[in-house]
Amino acid sequence: MVFDQRNAGASVTPSSNPTYTLDRWNLTFSQGSKFSIQQTPSATETGFATRVGAGFTNYLAATVVSSVSVGAGDYFAIQQLIEGLNVSDLAWGTANAKTITLSFLVRSSLTGTFGGALSNSAGDRSYPFSYTISTANTWEQKSVTIAGDTSGTWLTTNGVGMYVRFGLGAGATFSGTAGAWAASNYFSATSAVSVVGTGSATFYITGVQLEAGTTASPFEYRQYGTEYNLCLRYYWHGYMAAGNVHYFIPIMPTNPGTSNVGQIPLTAALRTTPVFVLYPAYNTGGSWNLNNAIVNNTFTGIPVVYNYTAGNSPSSVAILITVSSGMNIGYPVYFYNNTSVNGYIALNAEL
């Protein structure tokens, strides 16, 4: 929970399913605007370090903002989509499937039996699991050991190799018996606590680790730069700025005409060809210009990623920008946000 490129620690209430919140984590749901999600520094909670051990600087905090009486077809979960290349060694879907252990630190204002699930990309193989939170508003260490699935198709490509889900409420259609593989798409275990069913209920989680083996090992802390580059494989976030402010984006135009290709340098190869994102969205009311050596150009089309092949050119991403007049070669480009709200650019290569 170290990185939150999109929101920089601000609370968000997702309405579009799914919505990525903290890096690599998204909230998936059948009804939007029921939870707020926030990256919360551990230092803000008295006694955090002494209760769960030093080292976790942040946790993901989910808070119910509008309670729901969960119907059969409802589901709410915090999930991470793991790339197939990162779980290929587990050999799931074969006779040699390895056992894994999922460990995490969790806290809730509610107590009882909670649930989650692992699923494949097709959503036709799932393993619901359960765990118990014994004391309200107290951090507790949990681990779940799961025998590898010898059936089904588990991708070992750069697609979704595995969904890891922590249920916040799921109806009969999307919950199953804990502790057994099933040919279904489950988000939680049957009869698990429905967090979303209680107004203002909280669910906090951090220190999540999935590893091969039958027991949980101590959490593997990686260097900050290593962790950041792992996040950048899936999402790169440009600089944020208030309205009417220039901010530098490292794009250098290579064509003096109205159709320009600029390069955004990368420190990590992206998982796949990314989507270039402008916020406020250019095509929904956002007002953007490009400033290039005092020349202020207006867009005549939405910038797009140009000719990027994952793994082939990891050092940069080319952006094709069509402007109203020629640009000055060799001068960096400033994106100019003409609106009164914060803006950003991003490269999105999420699963």
Is 2 part of any domain? Answer: no
Task: Assess whether 145 and 41 both reside in one domain.
Answer: yes
Among 221, 252, 268, residue at a domain's last position: 221
Is 6 part of any domain? Answer: no
What residues form DSSP beta bridges with 322?
A: 259
Task: Assess whether 267 and 178 both reside in one domain.
Answer: no
Is 226 part of any domain? Answer: no
Task: Assess whether 202 and 55 both reside in one domain.
Answer: yes
Q: What is the pLDDT of residue 108?
A: 96
Is 49 part of any domain? Answer: yes
Among 3-12, 198-207, 294-303, the minimum mean pLDDT is found in 294-303
Task: Assess whether 342 and 195 both reside in one domain.
Answer: no
Residues 25-37: pLDDT tens digits? Answer: 999 999 999 999 9
Task: Assess whether 195 and 239 both reside in one domain.
Answer: no
Residues 174-215: pLDDT tens digits? Answer: 999 999 999 999 999 999 999 999 999 999 999 999 999 999
Q: What is the pLDDT of residue 105?
A: 94
Residues 282-295: pLDDT tens digits? Answer: 655 567 777 776 66
Averaged pLDDT, 125-140: 96
Name the nearest CA neighbour of 166 among 135, 193, 139: 193
Is 199 part of any domain? Answer: yes
Among 221, 249, 281, residue at a domain's last position: 221
Task: Assess whether 76 and 174 both reside in one domain.
Answer: yes
Phi-psi region of 34 (alpha: psi -120 to 50; beta: other; left: phi over 0): alpha
Is 8 part of any domain? Answer: no
Task: Assess whether 131 and 159 both reside in one domain.
Answer: yes
Q: How many domains does one find in the chain?
A: 2
Among 221, 256, 287, residue at a domain's last position: 221
Task: Assess whether 159 and 302 both reside in one domain.
Answer: no
Alpha-carbon span 75 to 163, nearest angstrom: 14
Is 31 part of any domain? Answer: yes
Burial 258-294 (b: 16+ CB within 10 A, else e): eebebbbebeebbbbebebbbbbeeeeebbbbbbbee
The CATH number that applies at residue 84 is 2.60.120.260
Is 161 part of any domain? Answer: yes
Task: Assess whether 171 and 299 both reside in one domain.
Answer: no
Residues 50-101: pLDDT tens digits? Answer: 455 557 889 999 999 999 999 999 999 999 999 999 999 999 999 999 999 9
Range of the domain at 266: 235-348
Task: Return the residue matching tokens 């790169």.
Answer: 236
Task: Assess whether 242 and 176 both reside in one domain.
Answer: no
Answer whether residue 248 shows pLDDT above 60.
no
Averaged pLDDT, 310-320: 75
Task: Assess whether 197 and 337 both reside in one domain.
Answer: no
Measured CA angle at 236 (ends 235, 237), to 5 deg: 120
Task: Assess whether 152 and 195 both reside in one domain.
Answer: yes
